DNA sequence: CGCATACTTGACGTCATTCAAACCGTGTGG
DNA sequence: CCACACGGTTTGAATGACGTCAAGTATGCG
């Protein structure tokens, strides 16, 4: 067995987990591991031949930069997530590491060949693409929501769900994966508004802030009612 | 050859176009054609066993209803588009016909089997899912944009690109596929604001309104600069 | 200790929403 | 034919929310 794959923390959850051991070893010959420091870019919008990758550890953001320089975060990638546009001639968006990350990268041609060779891999990527689509639609639903307070409450709710290992109930305490500025970019707000709404939520008794990024849920029910959501979502965007 | 498929207007562009004639005929045995009147619902959020479908003619919208009753349009489906969540236990969003539409529907179990049987179909759906993902991200980018005028200008620009048959340049005159209210739901604005911004764009000399839904592009360059986009997008979200 | 970075807080202006009324094209019934 | 109601749209005035600008407060690092 490929030694890198043998110790891979996402070997049972990534797209390649649907392959047999031999198939995976063959695919691994074409892959390369890569480390990214926080803030480092995997590829930029406009890059051709941008690689594809499975995220092994850490976190990535997919973002678009407007002509006026403002950034809009379009997606967060968690471990076992797959990143890369398989059929576009070049990348449409930037992909940047939110924290120090490890990836398993593949050249586009190698992935294209693997998809042809291993139908199970194509199905696994199809499933992942549909989950990404759902997650993006949930974010769009959130961004279309009128109130800034709703958006922040919903985002915190999702983070709490993502931070919980069971993913079926909320983590009571967790660290925000994003800075205030990144939260603002994600929700289409400003840093100041995000900060103020954090204050409002704390004042309302829904949450408590522990340092810059620590969050403790005081009243999850209240947070949920402020967010205007009936259902919660795990990191794959599926309802729980 | 299956008579329905033989005369199907999207037989060369839908997902099933990657199949051989025999394969397509076999798949067609499991499919059903269905017509929807404007406003009729294909399936609602929460439906289990929601069918999958290829849109043959007309237009659909995918939308989410918030707990406060407001609607957010998440996607538009054009002919040859595929609709349906293949791996979710039930539908997460409503799908409604914007105009009288014809579809080719399949039960989930039949599609699942076809994906297993025909690897090319899985790859075609993977490609389509990635295109949908890109289109949704573009809409998200648009919704995250600050100004209402930018959003409307960008949406009109996309509609003009979608209305053009060449899809590489803009249609000079076209009919809006959406009512003011639907545009508002898509952009996260109110009907009144949309109406006012139409007025602004006309006043600025970028467009002219012909009746309720007719639009004529007077200054496409101006529209594009107002939208703040460097690039235009066709209906698949690919840059042109 | 000094500086840099991130976050918070306040005052003010702008822009989208809200509520309200008027408008227009269409269809219906007298 | 006209009167009327109805849905979709436009327009107006006032409110309020978010953005902007600016100052102030941590927290960490050299």
Helices A119-144 and A108-117 meet at what angle, rounded to 10? 120
Is A184 in contact with A209 (CB distance < 8 Å)?
Answer: no
Work out the number of other CB atoms within 10 angstroms of the CB of residue B47.
Answer: 15
Q: What is the pLDDT of residue A58?
A: 93
How does pLDDT run across B6-19, given as a tens digit for each residue? Answer: 999 999 999 999 99
Alpha-carbon distance B186 to B159, whole Å?
13
Alpha-carbon distance B220 to B231, whole Å?
12
Is B94 in contact with B62 (CB distance < 8 Å)?
Answer: yes
Nucleotides of C under 7 A from a protein CB: 6-11, 15-20
pLDDT at A212 over 50: yes
Q: What is the pLDDT of residue A162?
A: 86
Q: What is the pLDDT of residue A209?
A: 95
Q: What is the distance in angstroms measured between the alpha-carbon CA of B197 and the sugar C1' of D2?
A: 36
Probe site for chain B from A126, A128, A191 (most B CB atoms < 10 A): A126
Alpha-carbon distance B153 to B26, whole Å?
45
CA distance B187 to chain A (A): 7
Per-residue flag: B72 CB under 7 A of strand D: no
> Strands, DSSP E only, in chain B?
32-36, 41-43, 52-57, 60-65, 71-77, 82-83, 94-97, 101-106, 173-175, 207-210, 214-217
Model-level pTM greater than 0.75? yes
Within 8 A of A228 by CB-CB distance, chain B residues are 66-68
Reading the block at residue A123, the tokens are 């199905």
Q: What is the pLDDT of residue A1?
A: 72
CA distance A118 to chain B (A): 9
Per-residue flag: A72 CB under 7 A of strand D: no
Q: What is the pLDDT of residue B169?
A: 86
Within 8 A of A92 by CB-CB distance, chain B residues are 134, 137, 239
Q: What is the pLDDT of residue A65?
A: 92
The band of A234, judged by pLDDT with boundaries at 50, 70 and 90, is very low
Query: In degrees rounded to 5, what are phi and psi of residue A111?
Result: -65, -40
Within 8 A of A84 by CB-CB distance, chain B residues are none
Is B184 in contact with B194 (CB distance < 8 Å)?
Answer: yes
Per-residue flag: B146 CB under 7 A of strand D: yes
Per-residue flag: B209 CB under 7 A of strand D: yes
Nearest residue for D19, CA–C1': A190
Query: Length of chain A in residues, anyone?
Result: 240
Nearest residue for D21, CA–C1': A192
Alpha-carbon distance A174 to B207, whole Å?
50
Residues 5-44 on B with a CB inside 8 Å of A are none
Share of residues in chain A with pLDDT > 90 (%): 81
- What is the number of CB-based contacts under 8 A between chain A and chain B? 124
Q: What is the distance in angstroms measured between the alpha-carbon CA of A57 and the sugar C1' of C30?
A: 76
Is B18 in contact with A87 (CB distance < 8 Å)?
Answer: no
């Amino acid at each position: 067995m490929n030694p890198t794959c043998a110790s891979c923390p996402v070997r049972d959850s990534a797209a390649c987990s649907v392959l047999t051991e031999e198939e995976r070893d063959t695919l691994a010959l074409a892959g390369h591991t890569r480390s990214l420091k926080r803030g480092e870019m995997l590829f930029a919008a406009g890059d051709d031949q941008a690689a594809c990758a499975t995220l092994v550890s850490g976190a990535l953001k997919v973002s678009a930069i407007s002509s006026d320089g403002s950034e809009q975060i379009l997606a967060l990638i968690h471990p076992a997530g797959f990143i890369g546009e398989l059929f576009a001639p070049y990348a449409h968006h930037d992909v940047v590491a939110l924290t120090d990350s490890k990836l398993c990268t593949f050249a586009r041609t190698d992935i294209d060949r693997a998809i042809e060779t291993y139908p199970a891999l194509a199905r696994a990527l199809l499933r992942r693409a549909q989950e990404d689509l759902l997650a993006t639609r949930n974010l769009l639903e959130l961004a279309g929501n009128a109130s800034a307070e709703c958006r922040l409450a919903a985002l915190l709710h999702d983070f709490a769900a993502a931070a919980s290992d069971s993913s079926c109930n909320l983590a009571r305490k967790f660290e925000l994966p994003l800075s205030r500025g990144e939260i603002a970019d994600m929700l289409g707000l400003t840093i100041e508004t995000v900060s103020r709404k954090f204050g409002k939520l704390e004042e309302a008794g829904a949450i408590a802030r522990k340092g810059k990024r620590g969050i403790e849920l005081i009243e999850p029910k209240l947070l949920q009612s402020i967010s205007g959501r009936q259902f919660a979502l795990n990191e794959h965007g599926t309802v729980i």
